[in-house]
Amino acid sequence: MTQQDFQLNWPKAELDRIATRIQTDYRAALADHNRRIKRWREYYRRFRAMVNLPNEGEETAANLPVPYVRWNVLTKWAKEMDALFGDDAEIVAVPVGASDYKRDAKVSKYMTWRVFNSMKLVPQFCAFVLFKLVFGRVVAYSPWKTDSFDVPAPEGKAFYNCKNCGRDALGDEGAPPQACEHCQHPLTGKESPKDEGEVVEYEGPDFVPLWPDDFIVPAEEVSTLHEFSFCLRKYRATPDQLLRGEEKGRYRGIKEHWETILNMAQHGIQREYEGDEVKQEKDDAEGILYQRPLSSGESLLVLEWYGRWRPLKSGVKDAAEWDFKKREMRQREFVVRYLWDLRLVIGVQDLAQLYPTKRNRRPFTEASMFKDGTYWSPGMAELLIDIEDELCANHNQATEAGQLAINPPIAYRPGSGMNPETFKIEPGLAIPLDNPATDVIQLKIGANMDIAQWKEQCVLAYGEKLTGMSDLQMGRQSDRPNAPRTAKQTVALLEEGNVRISLDNKVLREDMSGVLSHFWDLEYIFSSPQTFFRVTEDDADGIFETNNGGSILTLEDRDGRYDFRLQFASSVHSREAKKEQALARYQLDLQNPLVVQNPQALWEATRAAHEALDDPDFAKAVPKPPAPDVSIDPKDEWVELLHGEDVHVNPADNDQAHLVRHMKDLQMSEQNPNGPTGDLDAVKKLIAHYHDHIQQLQMKKLQQAIVEQAAQAVQQLAGKAKPLRMPQGLFGGPVTEPAGNPAAEGPNIYSGHPEVMHEQ
């Protein structure tokens, strides 16, 4: 199954009715959001630091835009991208179900590979984060994507199409392969061979950040985009893309209207006169005319409408939108693709059929700068635009004051013979005057730059308090009057600034978790039963099998529920601080006898110190010593069993304490079999481990009794000078428990224990 299946064959009257609805929704939404789009257009202009045209008569006045919005956005952009895609960033799968604990490490490695290596998400996510910082909210289109290209079959070979998944499989002429490589569906030999086949280059989640002009929603108070009554994605498609999409099942009616589509695609408009305001600002910044270009190719505007609609009842061909006798009472969510230029519906699909296991079925992800209770939250540009205006005014005013101080105005007598239009001060200039002492006077103007400098520092300080990003965090030396003078003061200032920045990082982490969960849902629905991914043996750490530099994520591994958390990469400052902490900790460990006398603990401390100093190969050079024979906490044993590990009894275990704790874990698991501890395999292993403790405890009692009897015999021999004799023999006869045995005292651990319940 692919997401392009399930085209619905609605009657023409119903298609015309939904087309009218899409036109109305699109125009009304543009009108309702006109003020917001106008502000966003100015925000993008500030980010590009574009100069406004001067007013009439002010062409020579100072007009430098201080790029305050731009440099703060760039700094914040760099920090967030470094945290998201740094060297030690990784994705952690947090299991939700009981049986998911066994596969969380494998799922974590798979998602890390998928996001950082397979999807090549860095370029797309750069734009995603930038739009969030500039506009305050960003939306990305994220469906399941299959990139493919056609190749000719080698000599003696032919391509055979799989009827199950639609993929082409390469085989011998007249002898197709036994099964499809993608879905393992058997090929019967009835498939028609082809000289040209389709090779899949990439299959997985897609991620396309949308410009504000390309995502249209109604004016409704919501928390997420899935709560809107409808949303529209706007994009342009070529006739060839439409034709190929019809072959894949994404569109319909393309061949039927092919000549009209081809003729309409020749008009060359890339920007609409209404609804592309932010992109028009981008065009001005790029210096390219997209609205009516002379060199553009073929394209048509497509509106992809995601909304709720009451479908017709079975057997009904036509009915008014509010005729509930002929329509179902409850709304369902559909995606309708509509050619705006032709007023033609080219596809209708049911989202419940496309994404059956997803709760939020619209294929979009989103993020916001703040979680302040509003959907359209403020961004960096909105926070800083007033400060930038003040900085620009202050800077240009100081520039004009400096110009007046350097080249002050001149007062002259009209009859002196001086022509101000040709007058220019230069070395060796001679001006004929009747009386130079009185005919021309140069006015002296003193420019006090201290006020301009003081005001600029105050305004910059306001911005730092607002964003939490100081000069030090931007990598510059602070020039404030209250700049820190010592290293301790500098570190304290950085830490206080990080408190404000950590708020943005928490919001970013939550938004990224939603994006990762969406990717996992797509993997669950559309991915093949067996998916190969790259992972090394060191990364696998023996938790799951690896072969040929990778592993296989099976359908059983994918059948689980997980929450995903992005582990941010450490900043340069944090890495240096961790190095110092690791060295200090290592010095303390070398003076601690508990560590020095334990080879494994000393090895771990040394390895951590080497890794902190960027030496990850210590474990390869120095093998890890064997683990000492020490007891394990019974709570940790139960956790390891839930993770699929094997545990064994240890002679140093306090068997009585282990039995009490394990019985408690068994009872909790039996009371809540569907809970996080209701893993049947782990329960069976715990029961077997429980019986091992019983046997070990009995052996300890037997050994203790033998030792005590031997001690009594030695005492008899020493006191009465008689030959050594064991009561009832050393190994013969029934063993009696002597009085005062500490291992036999206390409550009877067998009383009331339902051993029979755990025999199976």
Residue ranges making up the domain that contains 171: 157-194
Residues pairing with 90 in the sheet: 567
User: Which range has the worst mean pLDDT, 290-294, 583-587, 600-604, 671-675?
Assistant: 671-675
Same domain? 648 vs 581: no
Residue position matching structure tokens 């179902």: 328
What are the CA-CA distances from residue 730 to residues 30, 441, 510 (Å)? 97, 129, 69
Judge whether 576 lies within some domain: yes
Tally of CA atoms within 13 A in the half-sphere of 32 that contains its CB? 12
d(CA 591, CA 602): 11
Digit-coded pLDDT (tens) for 397-423? 887 777 777 777 777 777 666 676 666
Q: Is it the case that residue 3 has pLDDT exceeding 70?
A: no
CB 91 within 8 A of CB 112: yes
Q: What is the number of H-type helices and E-type strands within the chain?
A: 22, 18
Nearest-CA neighbor of 511 among 613, 643, 383, 364?
A: 364
State the average pLDDT over residues 725-747: 48
Domain stops at, among 558, 593, 628: 628
468 to 279, 380, 441, 473, 499: CA distances (angstroms): 30, 12, 52, 9, 8
- Cα(237)–Cα(532) distance, rounded to whole angstroms? 32
pLDDT greater than 80 at residue 94: yes
pLDDT surpassing 50 at residue 742: no
> Shortest CA distance to 198 belongs to which of 237, 253, 243, 247?
247
Last residue of a domain, one of 470, 499, 528: 499
Q: From edge to edge, which strands make up the β-sheet containing 208-209?
A: 208-209, 137-141, 364-368
Token pair 């003078």 is found at 485
- Claim to verify: residue 732 and residue 638 sit in the same structural domain: yes
Residue 533 and residue 110 in contact, taking contact as beta carbons nearer than 8 Å: yes
Structural domain ending residue among the three candidates 628, 658, 677: 628
DSSP symbols for 283-351: HHHHT---SS-SS----EEEEEEEEEE-PBPTT-----TT-TTTB-SS-EEEEEEEETTTTEEEEEEEH
Q: Are residues 673 and 611 in the same domain?
A: no
For residue 602, is it within any domain?
A: yes
Q: Which of 68-82, 703-717, 743-757 has the lowest mean pLDDT?
A: 743-757
Question: How does the average pLDDT of the chain come out, rounded?
Answer: 81
The Cα 120–Cα 403 span in angstroms is 52
Reduce the DSSP state of residue 238 to 3 states and report it: coil
- 447 and 411 housed in the same domain: yes
Q: What φ, ψ does residue 66 adopt, rounded to 5°?
A: -70, 115
> Which ranges in 33-67 belong to alpha helices (H)?
34-47
Task: For residue 695, give the H/E element and its range.
Answer: helix 680-720
Find the range with the poorest average confidence among 212-216, 220-224, 314-318, 716-720.
716-720
Kindly give the interhelix angle for 634-642 and 680-720, rounded to the nearest 10 degrees.
150
* 407 and 463, same domain (yes or no): yes
pLDDT of residue 354: 92
Give the closest residue to 253 by CA, choosing from 268, 241, 243, 263: 243
The reply to whether 386 and 433 lie within a common domain is yes
Q: With H, G, I as helix, E, B as strand and everything else as coil, classify residue 205.
A: strand
Q: Is 149 exposed, middle or buried (0-12, 13-18, 19+ CB in 10 A)?
A: exposed
Query: What is the Cα 303 distance to its own chain's centre?
Result: 27
- Mean pLDDT throughout 309-337? 91
The rounded distance, in Å, linking the Cα atoms of 522 and 1 is 12
Residue type, 18: I
Model confidence pLDDT, tens digit, residues 582-600: 888 888 888 888 888 888 8
**463 in the same domain as 396:** yes
Amino acid symbol at 26: Y
Q: Is there a single domain that holds both residue 386 and residue 465?
A: yes
Is residue 462 located within the same domain as residue 578? no
Q: Is 554 within 8 Å of 579 (Cβ atoms)? A: no
3-state secondary structure of 157: strand
Q: Do the beta carbons of residue 638 and residue 662 sit within 8 Å?
A: yes
Residue 286's alpha-carbon distances to 169, 214, 268, 301, in angstroms, are 45, 19, 19, 22
pLDDT at 544: 76
Cα–Cα–Cα angle for 756, 758, 760, rounded to 5 degrees: 95
For residue 126, pLDDT over 90 is answered with yes
pLDDT at 725: 52
% helix / strand / coil in the chain, to the nearest 5? 45, 15, 40
Task: Single out the residue of 738, 729, 750, 736 nearest to residue 708, CA to CA.
Answer: 738
- CA 270 to centroid of chain Cα atoms: 32
Length of the chain as a residue count: 760
Question: What would the mean pLDDT of 79-84 be, rounded to a whole number?
Answer: 85
The span from the CA of 553 to the CA of 427, in Å, is: 81
Asked if the structure places residue 280 within a domain, the reply is no
Is the pTM of the predicted complex or chain greater than 0.85?
Answer: no
Whether 44 is covered by a domain: the verdict is no
Question: Is residue 687 in a domain?
Answer: yes
**Dihedral angle sign, alpha carbons of residues 409, 415, 419, 425:** negative
Is residue 599 domain-shared with residue 665, that is, in the same domain?
Answer: no
309 contacts 19 by C-beta, under 8 angstroms: no
| Longest Cα–Cα distance in the chain | 150
Q: Reply yes or no on whether the pLDDT at 64 is more than 60.
A: yes
- Tell me the per-residue pLDDT of 443-498, one tens digit each, with 9 for 90 and over: 677 777 777 777 777 777 767 766 766 665 555 555 555 555 555 555 555 555 55
Per-residue pLDDT tens digits for 190-219: 677 777 777 788 889 999 999 999 999 999
- Count the domains in the chain: 4
Q: Assess if residue 719 is contained within a domain.
A: yes
Distance CA 379, CA 370 (A): 8
**Would you say residue 49 lies in a domain?**
no
Are the beta carbons of 616 and 628 closer than 8 angstroms? no
| One-character DSSP codes across 74-118 | HHHHHHHHHHHHSTT-EEEEEE-SSGGGGTHHHHHHHHHHIIIII
Statement: residue 704 has pLDDT above 50: yes
Verify that 478 and 584 share a domain, yes or no: no
490 and 426 in a common domain = yes
Domain assignment present for 583: yes
Q: Pairing relation of β-strands 157-161 and 230-237?
A: unpaired
